[in-house]
Amino acid sequence: MTSPEVSVAPAGVISMESALRVIRSLFAWAGFIAVYLFLYTPLVTIGIFAFNDSTVQALPWSGFTLQWFGAIGQNGLLFSALTFGLSVSLLVVAVASVVGTYFAVVVNSATGAAPRVLLAAVIIPAIVPGMVLGLSLAITFRLVGIPAGLWSIVIGHLAFTVPVVTLVVLTRLRRLDPSLTQASMDLGANGWRTFWHVTFPQLRTAILAAALLTLTLSFDEVVITFFLAGTQQTLPLFIWSQTRFGFTPEINAIVTIIGAVSIVLIVIATRVIEREVDPFAGTGRKRRSRRGR
């Protein structure tokens, strides 16, 4: 029997289903947007106040100004916290990149049970709570006689950034084709020259990504730094101590700068990491030649 109702019924079911799907996806989007609003509104707010021509952190908007950015330089304590924090982070980046890469190479070339043990030994400081690490380092440094200051903070930061570099570089190392190192040795290069000419060039992007990550991790670290700092504060410590007396506009300005710089760094880092997953993504394959047979 081929009555018209028979053919109508399935269509009705389909439209019901698709309506449900639309509603469900609306809810999903609404949730998504709510979460992002929640995350980004404070960031945007701080950014807005950094340009607001008023010492009071409240609406209404009283005009556009760049004076708070200029005020950063005038605020001696703020400026010295910024430069001190930067020197800490740059030292940390330099040392962590070298040491972390070295650890990754050692772990990667070890055989048997050694890699797992070595890796665990490297990583544990990164997963111990910052409070525990900071306190235990502070006590140890006092016993050993390392004064609180630049170097104590640098060592403290290395404890959790070296593992990060090790992991990022190790992931890359493990994806490398082992026959490339063998080919290099086969063609007359010893272990060191093989590393320099064959392994290291393929690790460069991973090391760069790890260095950027280390920079952001170290620059805004608070807990460990709190335990290890002497009289000179790093920027986040300084800002934190200032906020107890209320925000000042130049803090909005510097936080806005830092936010913008870290977004740029993170975008670069992820770009670099993605490129590393498939260095020849895109046009490379199409350019393959078929001639010369």
Partner 1 sequence: MEEASLSPSRPGTPGREGDTPLEPPTVVRFDDVSKVYNGATTKAVDGVSLDIRAGEFFSILGPSGSGKTSCLRMIAGFEQPSSGRILLDGVDVQGIPPYRRDVNTVFQNYALFPHMSIEANVSYPLRMHRVAKHEIDERVSETLALVEMEELRKRFPHQLSGGQRQRAALARALVGRPKVLLLDEPLGALDLQLRQQMQLALKQLQRDVGITFVYVTHDQGEALSMSDRMAVMSTGHIEQVGTPREVYFHPNTPFVAGFIGKANLGRGTVVLESGATVGHWGGISFPMAADTPLGPCAFSLRHESVSLSDGAGDIAVRGTVEEVVFLGDSSEVMVAVDGVTLVAKAPAHIGFALSNGQAITVSFKASEVVRIDG
In the complex, the residues that contact partner 1 under the rule CB under 8 A are 177, 179-180, 182-190, 193, 197-198, 201-202, 279-280, 284-285, 287-290, 292-293
Task: Pick the closer one to partner 1 by CB: 7 or 190.
Answer: 190
DSSP 126-175: HHS-HHHHHHHHHHHHHHHTPPSSHHHHHHHHHHHHHHHHHHHHHHHHHH
Token pair recorded at residue 225: 């730094």
Distance of CA 233 to the CA centre of its chain: 22
Task: Pick the closer one to partner 1 by CB: 38 or 192.
Answer: 192
Shortest Cβ distance from residue 197 to partner 1 (Å)? Answer: 7
Phi, psi angle pair for 64, to nearest 5°: -90, 135
Shortest Cβ distance from residue 199 to partner 1 (Å)? Answer: 10
Is-contact 181 201, C-beta < 8 A? no
Task: Pick the closer one to partner 1 by CB: 31 or 284.
Answer: 284
Shortest Cβ distance from residue 27 to partner 1 (Å)? Answer: 45
Task: Pick the closer one to partner 1 by CB: 115 or 149.
Answer: 115
Residues 244, 154: Cα–Cα separation, whole Å: 26
Shortest Cβ distance from residue 214 to partner 1 (Å)? Answer: 24
Task: Pick the closer one to partner 1 by CB: 24 or 197.
Answer: 197
Residue 250 falls in which region: left (phi positive, over 0), alpha (psi -120 to 50) or beta = alpha
Residues 264, 279: Cα–Cα separation, whole Å: 21
Shortest Cβ distance from residue 93 to partner 1 (Å)? Answer: 24
